Amino acid sequence: MRPSGDPPFWEPGDEFAWRYQRKVPGYHGPETVRPMRVVRDDADGLVGWLAPDTPVLRPVLADGRELRAVPAHDMFRSGRAVGRGRWRGSGVLKIAPTGAPWSVWLFWGEGWSFRGWYVNLEDTHLRDATSVVTQDHVLDLWVTPDRSVTWKDEDELEAAVDTGRWSAEDADRFRADARGVEAIVARWGSPFADGWEQWRPDPSWIVPALPPDLAWDFDVDPIGG
């Protein structure tokens, strides 16, 4: 693995996988995998397109239910599995600025009506030949077109600390990262000011498939608690 932002870079239209790892004793594979296409890749960061109906791997409870089917504390105490699914709703443009402990996701509604920017706090990004790898930090932000900022999933971060998923020091760091994003929004810096809401995907692109090593023949694969 190498830091994202270092060459060699991918070309526009290349397929890659955006993976979220989870530190589980005895398990070293991905918890989330989203096949995507490269929009831009250079020293400043990676921009990728997650198309509607893309096949994905996603975390679920050990019995196959959605994570949020149980209270927040139980979400982090319960056993988990990796389930197969498809990306529901509109496509998402994901931007990973080099060295940033977060990524920014652009969401659209019907007719490409722009809804806003979702900021997913996560590890700074690493990559290999075919994937970007990070780890989710639970806490997120939502930025509307009028530049207002809302913090999301604060209760889940508290539950993650209470159950030992993250430490109190980790949570303080994530909150500091969130405040750093708020400062970028306040001065309307990149990537929010870069005009990506006007971007549209190449109509010739087909939906990527899951990497062959992850095209499993079962619906749910347990990975532990």
Count CA atoms within 13 Å of residue 55 on its CB side. 11
Tokens representing 85? 């699914």
Q: How far apart are CA 167 and CA 12, in angstroms?
A: 39
186 phi and psi, to 5 degrees? Answer: -60, -35
Asked if residue 41 lies in contact with residue 21, where contact means CB atoms within 8 angstroms, the answer is: no
Asked if residue 46 lies in contact with residue 7, where contact means CB atoms within 8 angstroms, the answer is: no
Q: Where are the domains of the chain?
A: 2-201
pLDDT beneath 50, residues of the chain: 217-218, 220-225
Q: How far apart are CA 93 and CA 197, in angstroms?
A: 9
- One-letter identity of residue 124: T
pLDDT at 101: 98
pLDDT at 212: 79
Global pTM reads 0.91
pLDDT at 217: 47
pLDDT digits (tens, 9 = 90+) for 140-176: 999 999 999 999 999 999 999 999 989 999 999 999 9
- Write the DSSP symbol of residue 98: T
**72 alpha carbon, distance to own chain's centre:** 19
Asked if residue 112 lies in contact with residue 200, where contact means CB atoms within 8 angstroms, the answer is: yes
Fold assignment, 2-201: FomD barrel-like fold (2.40.380)
